[in-house]
């Protein structure tokens, strides 16, 4: 394959970026993060592979979910340290209700514990938590934990942490359409007033207002090459990164690999770049 020739402007830009200060984390392996101005503002993650991770080690499924929780906590801290502004993690899909009830109950309890155990850290570190998805399908205790944590962190803005629980992309689009239909029925808007920005504002990721509502980078672990009904509208122009690493093993080096891949891509949003 022939190497892609860079225009003079692109070459100069890349040379300039190579001179940007880089930050090294004080914890973990000390891997160097990409330049701040090349960091994706919003990263979304399909956290896949907990059960396979446990099976490969001859462990109960719940041990895989516990290891997955630790990977999520690690990713939140790295995102904050590296200057990512929003992180959306796919914790439980509407389709996951098809799993054994005992596993569903355990995961719901695990999500609740994760919220309660980390909320003080979120408050201290400027992380705002949003639990997005169909709240009517969550246990009452999980709903209570989510509402309390959202209230405690509502003044934070350093990192918007969106935890998708009982979520699916198709459900999100349908609920947004229903909200617009109710407004039209009530005379609050006309059908011809509805446009892409209006519908996008009714999606549940709208809590992270403006440009942060759509991910710049979407990561999927465990070797699967699909979105699995996650952020279907929002990921229209997301850069996709797939890795064979199972979610519990997703750490600093793997995250850095995804960020470095994002940094190397040229985002055109359907436009043609003239030389």
Shortest CA distance to 64 belongs to which of 261, 249, 270? 249
Specify whether 120 is catalytic. Answer: no
Euclidean distance between CA atoms 121 and 246, whole angstroms: 26
Torsional sign, CA 191, 192, 198, 199: positive
Torsional sign, CA 99, 100, 105, 107: negative
Shortest CA distance to 107 belongs to which of 135, 65, 71, 147? 65
- Which of 37, 48, 134, 249 is catalytic? The answer is 48
Euclidean distance between CA atoms 6 and 14, whole angstroms: 10
Catalytic positions, please?
Answer: 48
């Amino acid at each position: 394959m022939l190497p892609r020739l860079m225009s003079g402007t692109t070459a100069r830009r890349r040379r300039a970026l190579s001179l940007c200060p880089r930050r090294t984390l004080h914890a973990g392996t000390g891997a160097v993060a990409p330049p701040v101005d090349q960091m994706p503002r919003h990263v979304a993650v399909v956290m896949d592979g907990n059960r396979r991770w446990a099976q490969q080690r001859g462990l109960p499924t719940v041990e895989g979910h516990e290891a997955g929780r630790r990977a999520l906590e690690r990713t939140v801290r790295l995102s904050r340290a590296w200057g990512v502004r929003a992180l959306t993690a796919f914790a439980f899909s509407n389709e996951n209700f098809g799993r054994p009830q005992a596993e569903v109950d355990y995961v719901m309890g695990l999500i609740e514990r994760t919220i309660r155990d980390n909320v003080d850290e979120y408050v201290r570190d400027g992380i705002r938590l949003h639990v997005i998805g169909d709240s009517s399908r969550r246990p009452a205790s999980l709903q209570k934990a989510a509402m309390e944590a959202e209230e405690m962190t509502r003044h934070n803005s350093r990192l918007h942490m969106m935890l998708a629980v009982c979520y699916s992309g198709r459900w999100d689009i349908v609920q947004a359409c229903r909200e617009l239909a109710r407004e039209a029925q009530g005379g609050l808007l006309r059908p011809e007033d509805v446009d892409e920005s209006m519908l996008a504002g009714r999606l549940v990721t709208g809590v992270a207002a403006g440009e942060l509502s759509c991910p710049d980078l979407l990561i999927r672990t465990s070797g699967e090459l699909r979105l699995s009904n996650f952020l279907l509208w929002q990921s229209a122009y997301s850069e996709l990164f797939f890795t064979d690493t199972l979610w519990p093993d997703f750490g600093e080096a793997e995250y850095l690999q995804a960020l470095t891949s994002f940094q190397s891509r040229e985002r055109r949003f359907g436009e043609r770049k003239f030389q």
